[in-house]
Structure 1
Amino acid sequence: MKRERIPLSGTDWFLNGISLAIALGSIVYAAAIYSDLPDQVPTHFNFAGEADAWGFKANIWLGPIIMVPTILALLAIAVFNQKTNSNGRELSHAGHVKVLKDVRRMLLLLCVSLGVMSWAIVLSMSQHEAGNILTIISLVMLLGVSLLYTIKMLATAKRDPGLESDGETRGRGPFL
């Protein structure tokens, strides 16, 4: 069944812009401090927040180089994906719209989390104390957003009556 295209909301476009600004900001900051960094920078930290591995200062670019393309890929999925069916069962129009909006919001909030993680990596490697705090914040955001929105989408799919095909509803929904 061909469905109408559901546009992104204003909040979704705002989150899109914020996530890109956060990630690109970490690149600008890394460029600004790069010449002042020592030749060796911390690349790994133990649970006490102490550096326990060191590498070349060029490693400061790894976080942003990984995060920015990942964010762009997730943003593309959020913008262009219109599919919400699974296990051979199509959701009702209301269920489709609800799940699609939740998928988008989850992806965009994950993008913001990855932007924060990019900052955490740059700040940690430049031995700024905020790096450790941002690492914890970004990990909590990633896990919390993933868990919350997965539960929301599964609950929506479970409650949704689905589209009827020849008088029968097929399947029970994604992962159920």
Structure 2
Amino acid sequence: MSTYWGRPKLKIPKSKSEWIWDFIGYLCFFGSIIVLLYVWRTLPEEVPAHYNAAGEVDRWGTKAELFILPVVGVFLALIMTVLEKFPEAHNYPKRFNESNAEQFYLNSRKLVNQIKNICLILFSLILFESISIALGWGVRFGIWFLPITIIGTVIPIVFGIVKMKRIK
């Protein structure tokens, strides 16, 4: 067993839940990019570029700006995938030791995986929202998007912290 950062380097296979989260996150993300490419020629030159807290468009921009979310999403996915591969580099409480390392690593890695995929799903939804508004499809998330986003990202973090507190 090798060590990094003074912690054991363990080979822990991806859990079923991590595979499921990855499948859903990447499916939504790449699906939204495919939709963008499919409708590209029909998009008007000016599309929604920013939303306020009520879910209303408060800035319009060029349709090329729609590629910002996919680019940021790819960057975020790459960085968080690297973080998933090195759970020994994550921050742990003082009670961390070799006997509980696997539990801490798996819990922390699952949390990073969930947050990565939730971000990819949210980016997909925002991209789809912008496309649907630009094309007049009538699909709108409105005022519910921000609270759902906050709740959807906070809940996994809270559950991850609770699970970490239970590790002896």
TM-score (norm 1): 0.74
Structure 1: runs of 5+ lacking an equivalent: 161-176
**2:55–2:145 CA contact under 8 A, matched in 1:** no
- Deviation at residue 62 of structure 1 after TM alignment: 0.8
Distance change (3 Å), C-alpha of 1:136 and 1:67: farther
Q: Which of the residues 126, 129, 133 maps onto 2:139?
A: 129
**1:38–1:57 CA contact under 8 A, matched in 2:** yes
Aligned identity (percent) is 22
1:45 paired residue number? 51
**2:51–2:57 CA contact under 8 A, matched in 1:** yes
- Deviation at residue 26 of structure 1 after TM alignment: 1.5
Distance change (3 Å), C-alpha of 1:23 and 1:6: same
**1:5–1:82 CA contact under 8 A, matched in 2:** no
2:155 paired residue number? 144
Which deviates the most, 37-46 or 9-18?
Answer: 9-18
1:78 aligns with 2:84: yes
After superposition, give the CA deviation of every residue in 1:38-70 in whole Å (9 maximum; x if it has no partner). 111111222332211111111111111101221
Structure 1 or 2, whichever has the larger Rg, is 1
1:167 paired residue number? none
1:68 and 1:136 map into 2 onto residues whose CA distance is: 24
In the comparison of the two structures, how many residue pairs are matched?
156
2:121 and 2:102 map into 1 onto residues whose CA distance is: 29
2:160 and 2:111 map into 1 onto residues whose CA distance is: 6
- Deviation at residue 89 of structure 1 after TM alignment: 5.7
1:15 aligns with 2:18: no
Measured on the aligned residues, the alpha-carbon RMSD in Å equals 2.6
SS in 1 for 2:13: coil
After superposition, give the CA deviation of every residue in 1:100-129 in whole Å (9 maximum; x if it has no partner). 111111111112211211112212222153
1:101 paired residue number? 106
Distance change (3 Å), C-alpha of 1:85 and 1:139: closer
> Higher RCO, 1 or 2 (CA under 8 Å, sep at least 6)?
2
**1:43–1:54 CA contact under 8 A, matched in 2:** yes
**1:41–1:54 CA contact under 8 A, matched in 2:** yes
2:80 and 2:89 map into 1 onto residues whose CA distance is: 15
1:113 paired residue number? 118
Runs (4+) of structure 1 moved beyond 4 Å? 83-89, 130-136
Q: In the alignment, residue 50 of structure 1 is paired with which amino acid? A: E
1:87 and 1:136 map into 2 onto residues whose CA distance is: 30
